[in-house]
Amino acid sequence: MVSKPSYSDLEEKIIELEKDLKVQARKMVRLERDRVRLKTILESATHAIVVVNDRGLIVEWPSQAELLCGWGRDDIIGKPIFSIMPARYREKHQGLLEKVLKGGHGLNFGKRIETTILYKDELEVPVELAVSLTRVGDRKEFNLFMHDITERKSYEAQLHRVSITDELTDLFNRRGFMGMAARQLKIAYRNKENIFLLFADFDNMKWINDNLGHQIGDLALMETAAILKNTFREADLIGRVGGDEFIVLVADNKTTKTENKVMDRLGKNIAKANKRPGRNYKVMLSTGTVFCDHRRSYSIDDLMIKADKLMYRSKKEKQTAGLYSHI
């Protein structure tokens, strides 16, 4: 026969159960505190901290993520994290997720990188992103730390624009022109386009500065920049590379015809500007032009040196012929 437990045995078990319940209750309290603490951290962090499970599905979506991506929590929880990525990145990141889950690590894993995410499938938002991997029980989770860098990128873009732009004329400065022109040359050779480069010098700038003042000289440079912008296409590169020196790079497949047409249009635009009433100076440019067949490779420095020599030859011919007329 199986003996029945005594009252004292039952009492001891009840006491043990009460102790266990108290321990469990304390654990539940601690877990709740941890949950609240984690929730507070997630909601108050300056970064949007998004948690993704090992299937790539979003399981935590704080309010910062809502502000950053435009999706409400109810709309995004359970959706693939790839849905907030631009389409061109999705396949690559899907492969990286599988690789990391198998123990591999990509070059950027655990590092801060700059990328973009989607705001409600409408536009891309630049973010600084870091990803970490944690183990929860027998499963793994990804933590994505995303920080909006729109303002910083805008400021960087402004700084970059200032660094490559001539403040007076709003054309490229020498640094900006040289960088963009070198890139344009590579594209032109790859696309089998021809190159036309114009180097221009304002002939009578010294006379204007000496007799009319530097303020009028600045206006003359700004007027010349406007004439060049009106003469050439938006796709052409125009720069002010010296005090009174301007340069233009044109790339297309009909450059010989373009050169003749453009130079004719430039002459007409200068003549039109000089006919305006009330002028006390003339816009006078000496120019040198170089045509470069795409079958021959030149650097931008080579082209500038050639055009510069031709421009000075033109200037000397004017001086010899006595063609300078300041007003």
CATH of the domain at 136: 3.30.450.20
Is 304 within a domain? Answer: yes
Residues 126 and 198 reside in one and the same domain = no
Is 13 within a domain? Answer: no
Is this model's pTM higher than 0.85 or not? no
Strand pairing of 285-292 and 194-202? antiparallel
Residues 299 and 206 reside in one and the same domain = yes
Residues 98 and 67 reside in one and the same domain = yes
Asked if residue 59 lies in contact with residue 52, where contact means CB atoms within 8 angstroms, the answer is yes
Residues 180 and 139 reside in one and the same domain = no
Q: Encode pLDDT of 46-94 as tens digits.
A: 678 899 998 889 998 988 899 888 989 899 999 998 888 988 888 877 7
Residues 135 and 176 reside in one and the same domain = no
Residues 106 and 193 reside in one and the same domain = no
Is 37 within a domain? Answer: no
Is 204 within a domain? Answer: yes
Is 24 within a domain? Answer: no
The total domain count for the chain is 2
Which of 153, 182, 208 is where one domain is finished?
153
Is 314 within a domain? Answer: yes
Is 30 within a domain? Answer: no
Asked if residue 239 lies in contact with residue 254, where contact means CB atoms within 8 angstroms, the answer is no
Place of tokens 């700004």: 222
Q: Tell me the pLDDT of the chain (327 aa) as tens digits.
A: 556 666 677 777 777 887 877 878 777 777 767 666 666 665 655 678 899 998 889 998 988 899 888 989 899 999 998 888 988 888 877 777 777 777 666 666 667 888 899 998 778 999 998 888 888 778 888 888 888 998 888 888 888 888 999 999 999 999 999 999 999 888 888 888 888 899 999 998 999 999 999 999 999 999 999 999 999 988 899 999 989 999 999 887 665 566 788 889 999 999 999 999 988 999 999 999 998 877 777 889 989 999 999 999 988 888 777 666 555
Give helix 214-231 / helix 205-212 axis angle, nearest 10°: 140
Contacts of 110 (CB under 8 A, 6+ apart): 130, 131, 132
Which residue from 266, 293, 132, 276 is spatially nearest to 198, judged by alpha carbons? 266
Which of 153, 188, 223 is where one domain is finished?
153
In sequence order, which ranges of the chain are alpha helices (DSSP H)?
7-44, 63-69, 73-76, 87-101, 150-164, 174-190, 205-212, 214-231, 255-274, 300-321
Spatial distance between the Cα atoms of 262 and 62, rounded to a whole number of angstroms: 58
Owning domain of residue 262: 165-321
Contacts of 307 (CB under 8 A, 6+ apart): 197, 198, 199, 247, 288, 289, 290
Is 9 within a domain? Answer: no
Please, which residues bridge with residue 125 across strands? 117
The CATH number of the domain holding residue 274 is 3.30.70.270
Q: Following DSSP, what letter does each residue of 146-213 receive, concatenated?
A: EEE-HHHHHHHHHHHHHHHB-TTT-SB-HHHHHHHHHHHHHHHHHTT-EEEEEEEEETTHHHHHHHH-
Asked if residue 280 lies in contact with residue 212, where contact means CB atoms within 8 angstroms, the answer is yes
Residues 186 and 314 reside in one and the same domain = yes
Residues 235 and 214 reside in one and the same domain = yes
Residues 127 and 268 reside in one and the same domain = no
Both tokens of 283, joined, read 């816009």
Residues 194 and 140 reside in one and the same domain = no
Which of 119, 153, 187 is where one domain is finished?
153
Report DSSP state, residue 247: E
Residues 110 and 182 reside in one and the same domain = no
Residues 139 and 204 reside in one and the same domain = no
